[in-house]
Amino acid sequence: MKCSSMSLAFLLGIATFSSVQAQQPVAISAQLEQKVIEWRRDLHQHPELSNREFRTAKVIAKHLKDLGLEVQTGIAHTGVVGVLVGGKPGPTIAMRADMDALPVIEQTDLPFKSTAKSEYRGKEVGVMHACGHDLHMAMLMGAAEKLTSMKDEVAGTIVFIFQPAEEGAPNDEEGGAELMLKEGLFTKHKPEVVFGIHVWSAGNTGHIGYREGPLMASSDRFEITVKGRQTHGSRPWGGVDPIVAAGQIIGSTQTIVSRQVNITKAPAVISFGIIEGGVRNNIIPDEVYLEGTIRNFDMDNRAQIFKNLKTTAEMTAKATGAEAHVHIDEGYPVTINDIDLTRNMLPTIERVAGKDKVHVNDLVTGAEDFSFFALEVPGLFVFLGVTPEGENAVSAPSNHSPFFYADEKSLKTGTELYVNWVLDYNKL
C-alpha cells in the first residue's frame, strides 16, 4: 500500500490528536484531595458575607504565599489574586472562585456546620456557605498547589482569582467582579481566557453541565414610583389613584416579553416582587412603590426591555393622570460561554469527569458576576454536580437553601478540571 506524503501527514496528525485525547488526565494525590476537603470544611465553618471576607482572604493569601506565588490582596476590598509564572513560555490563563457566603441560618447536621452570625441590613443574621463558594475556593486552592508542584511543566502565567461579593455588595457599596476589573485586575494581568466552576445540587456528584453561548441570565433590578394625588376613598374623582395606575402598569409590562421582544432569540422574564402603598383602607395614597427583576439571555433584548419598560410604565401612568418614575439598576450581564473555547475544552471536561457524566446544561435563570470577566475575554463556566449518586438531584435542597448539602467527592473532580484546563489549553 502506498501513501502520498500529504496523506501520511494527515494520518499522522489524526494519530497525534487521538493520542492527546486518549491521554489520562492529570490527577491529584489522595493527600492533596484530603487537604482540599479540610480547607473546604474550615471555610464552611467560618463563612463571611459580601465585602466582609476578612478571615477568608487571610487564609487564602497565606496558602498562596506559602506556595511561593506572587500575591495581591485588598483588590475590591477583600479579593485575593495569586500569580504563578510557569517554566515555559505561554499565554496568561485566569481561573476564578468566589468567596462570600449568604445570610442563611444553616440547618444541616454536618459536624462542621456554620454557627456564625453577622449583621445584614441592620439585623443579626446567621451566615452560611449555602451556595457552595467554600467548595469553589478549596478547589482553586488545590489547583494552585498542584500546578505549582508542576511549575516547570506549566506554560505561561496562571492567575488565580479569589473574588469577593458574588452575591452582591452591601447597599451603597461596590464589589465583586465588576469592581475587581474597575480596579485594574485585567490591566495588570490580562488573560487570554478565563475559567470558572459552580457547584450545584441539581446534578449528581461529579457530573458536569456545560453549554455553548448563553448559560446564565442577566439579572437587573427595577424600581417604579407611581405618583398620584391623595383623596378620600369614597370620592376617587377628587384625586389621582396611583394604586389603579400601578395595577395597570403591572399588567401592561407583561406584554413587553410576550408582544414586544423577539423571544425566538432567547427567553426573558419580568417579575414584580414588591408592591407598597397606602396607610388606610379609606385613603387613596399619593404614591405606590413597585420593585422587580428582569432576567434575560440576550444582551440586545436586555437593552430593548429596559427601554420598553420605561416607556410602558410612563405612558400607562399618564393615561390615568398619574406619573411613573422608572429606575433600572443594571446588575449582572448574561453569562456567555465562548463557543470556540467551550468546544476546544470539551474533550478535557469529558476526560476528567468521564464522557457519560458530561451533559449539555439547560439555560439557568439565575445570574453570576463571572459574566463581567467573560465579557472582557473568552470565558468558560460550568456546573459541577454535588448531590450524592443515588439521590434525586431534582428534589435535593437547592443552592441558597439552609439544607444545602455538597458531596465532598466532587472536590476532586473540580480541582482536576481546573488543573487540566490549564495544561490542555496550552496544547491547542
Q: Are residues 243 and 383 in the same domain?
A: no
End-to-end CA distance of the chain: 32
Helix (H, G, I), strand (E, B) or coil at 279: coil
Q: Which of 210, 332, 418, 425 is catalytic?
A: 332
Distance, in Å, from the CA atom of 35 to the CA atom of 30, rounded to the nearest integer, reads 9
Residue 3 lies in a domain: no
What's the Cα-to-Cα distance from 268 to each of 138, 169, 254, 282, rounded to whole Å?
34, 25, 11, 38
DSSP class of 400: T
Residue 2 lies in a domain: no
Q: Are residues 196 and 207 in the same domain?
A: yes
| Vertex 121 angle, CA 275 and 40, to 5° | 115
Provide the CATH number for the domain around residue 379: 3.40.630.10
Q: Are residues 225 and 295 in the same domain?
A: yes
Residue 14 lies in a domain: no
For 152, the grid coordinates are 516547570
How high does pLDDT run on average in the chain? 95
List the beta strands (DSSP E) in 297-421: 323-332, 335-337, 358-360, 379-387
Assess whether 408 carries a catalytic annotation: yes
Residue 170 lies in a domain: yes
Contact 128, 402 (CB under 8 A): yes
| Listed residues 301, 332, 363: the one ending a domain | 332
Q: Are residues 203 and 247 in the same domain?
A: no
204: left (phi over 0), alpha (psi -120 to 50) or beta: beta
pLDDT 10s digits, 338-390: 999 999 999 999 999 999 999 999 999 999 999 999 999 999 999 999 999 99
Q: Name the band, by pLDDT with cuts 50, 70 and 90, for residue 1.
A: very low
Q: Are residues 265 and 409 in the same domain?
A: no
| Listed residues 303, 332, 361: the one ending a domain | 332
Q: Residue 383's CB: how many other CB atoms inside 10 A? A: 21
Contact 145, 64 (CB under 8 A): no
Q: Which of 174, 291, 314, 408 is catalytic?
A: 408
pLDDT 10s digits, 186-220: 999 999 999 999 999 999 999 999 999 999 999 99
Residue 15 lies in a domain: no
Q: Name the band, by pLDDT with cuts 50, 70 and 90, for residue 21.
A: low
Residue 23 lies in a domain: no
pLDDT at 5 > cutoff 80: no
Provide the CATH number for the domain around residue 250: 3.30.70.360
| Listed residues 332, 351, 378: the one ending a domain | 332
- Helices (H) and strands (E) counted in the chain, each on its own, are 11, 18
| Vertex 364 angle, CA 376 and 370, to 5° | 25
What's the Cα-to-Cα distance from 356 to each of 3, 207, 352, 424, rounded to whole Å?
37, 8, 11, 20
Q: What is the pTM of this model?
A: 0.92
Residue 280 lies in a domain: yes
The pLDDT value recorded for residue 22 is 61
pLDDT 10s digits, 102-133: 999 999 999 999 999 999 999 999 999 999 99
pLDDT 10s digits, 278-292: 999 999 999 999 999
Q: Are residues 46 and 33 in the same domain?
A: yes
As for how many domains the chain has, the answer is 2
The residue range of the domain holding 261 is: 218-332
